[in-house]
Amino acid sequence: MAGTAPKIGRVLETALYVDDLERAAAFYEQVLGLQPLISDSRFRAYGAGGVNVLLLFLRGATLETVQVPGGTIPPHDGHGPLHVAFAVAADELPVWERRLDEHGVAIEGRTEWPRGGHSVYFRDPDGHLLELATPGLWTIY
C-alpha cells in the first residue's frame, strides 16, 4: 500500500461559487477578458491560460447529482470567500492594474515576493479574493 503515488499532472479545474451567475459572468468576461467554454443555468466554464478551467457555479445549484451523457457528477457546493491566483507576465502587471482601475475594481493589496515575483489582490462581485501573480512567486513559478 505504501508505494509511490502516480504522477499528478496539474490542477485542471478550479471552482468558485457565486450568488448571481450573470453578474459574475459579466465580471469575468468584461473585466478579466475570459471567454466561456460552455454554460448552462447552473454554471459557466472559462479557459484560463489555455490549460486550466475556471468554473463558476451558482451557489446551491449543484446540490444534487447531475446526469450527463457519460455518467454522473456528484453534488458539490462552497461557501465563503475563496482565493484564486492567475499567472500574468511581469511586464503586463501594470497594464492589468490600469485595467482594474478603469473598471472600478479596487486593489486591496500588493506583495513583492522574496524570489522576485509580484502580486496584486482584488475582489470579484461575490467577495472572492483574486490575485494576479508574476513569475517568481513559487519555486515552480
CATH code, 45: 3.30.720.120
Residues 39 and 70 in one domain: yes
* Cβ count near 13 (within 10 Å): 10
Residues 75 and 87 in one domain: no
What pLDDT shows up at residue 44? Answer: 98
Residues 60 and 124 in one domain: no
Q: How many domains is the chain built from?
A: 2
Residues contacting residue 41 through CB under 8 Å, at least 6 positions apart: 21, 58, 61
**pLDDT above 90 as % of the chain:** 95
Is residue 136's pLDDT more than 70? Answer: yes
Q: How many residues does the chain have?
A: 141
CA-to-CA distance for 137 and 134, rounded, in angstroms?
7
**pLDDT above 70 as % of the chain:** 99
Is residue 3's pLDDT more than 90? Answer: no
Residues 57 and 109 in one domain: no
The DSSP code for 137 is S
Residues 67 and 103 in one domain: no
Q: How does pLDDT run across 23-77, given as a tens digit for each residue?
A: 999 999 999 999 999 999 999 999 999 999 999 999 999 999 999 999 999 999 9
pLDDT category at 1 given cuts 50, 70, 90 is: low
Tell me what the pLDDT averaged over the chain comes to.
Answer: 96
Residues 5 and 61 in one domain: yes
Q: How does pLDDT run across 83-116, given as a tens digit for each residue?
A: 999 999 999 999 999 999 999 999 999 999 999 9
Residues 70 and 87 in one domain: no
**Domain extent at residue 28:** 1-79
